[in-house]
């Protein structure tokens, strides 16, 4: 799909996703561990057609980058992955989307390969099955704690890119977790089966 004809940002020079090549990566030790303070919060789940989105309307804590706090607003899953590492794409990718008070965006990306089931997706299985049969219908799923995702943010890639779907807004801070996690084949199929391929996209 040629999004650039409608959304000029999609022709920009800082577009995501990218292939993260180790030979081109510069080690920057002062970045340190990604500081995050997530909290349980009421959440909703919706099948947007191009992905499945878990949203925290009031936010669910924050991360801190360069002294700026970015509140966790939502996460969603793509399969297969959008980013690649050393030329390899993975079976699934999760994005955690954060926004600052001045409307800047920071996204954490996590890659998954087929292996042991992911405990967070196991917990969400029933709700994912329900939204898989509906499109753009928001389902309340109660209080969800993002810490149950058990993120390992000690080592990561960092670059400035864009949202990966229209409007392709640039100057998004991307943090791609270096450690690849595992997900079962059945869980990947659950995400893929729930996605209807609708082309209307709104975020990341």
> CA-to-CA distance for 44 and 30, rounded, in angstroms?
36
Mark whether 50 is an active-site residue. yes
SS3 state at 29: helix
Q: Is the peptide bond before 93 cis (omega within 30 degrees of 0)?
A: no
- Integer-rounded Cα Rg, in Å, for the chain is 16
In sequence order, which residues have a C-beta less than 8 Å from that of residue 104 and are 6 or more positions away?
68, 70, 171, 173
- Catalytic residue (choose from 50, 76, 78, 196): 50
Catalytic residues: 50
């Amino acid at each position: 799909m040629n999004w650039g004809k409608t959304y000029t940002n999609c022709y920009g020079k800082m577009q995501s996703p990218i292939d993260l090549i180790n030979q081109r990566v510069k080690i920057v030790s002062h970045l340190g561990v990604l500081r995050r303070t997530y909290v349980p919060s009421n959440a909703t789940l919706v099948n947007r057609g191009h992905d499945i989105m878990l949203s925290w309307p009031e936010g669910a804590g924050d991360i801190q980058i360069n002294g700026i706090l970015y509140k966790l607003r939502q996460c969603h899953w793509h399969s297969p992955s959008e980013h690649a590492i050393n030329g390899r794409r993975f079976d699934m990718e999760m994005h955690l989307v954060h926004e600052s008070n001045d409307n800047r965006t920071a996204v954490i990306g996590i890659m998954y390969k087929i292996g042991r089931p992911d405990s967070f997706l196991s917990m969400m299985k029933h709700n994912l099955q329900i939204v898989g049969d509906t499109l753009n219908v928001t389902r309340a799923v109660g209080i969800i704690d993002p810490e149950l995702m058990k993120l390992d943010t000690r080592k990561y890639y960092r670059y400035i890119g864009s949202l990966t779907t229209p409007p392709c807004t640039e100057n998004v801070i991307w943090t791609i977790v270096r450690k690849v996690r595992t997900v079962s084949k059945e869980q990947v199929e659950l995400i893929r089966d729930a996605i209807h391929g609708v082309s209307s996209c709104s975020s990341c």
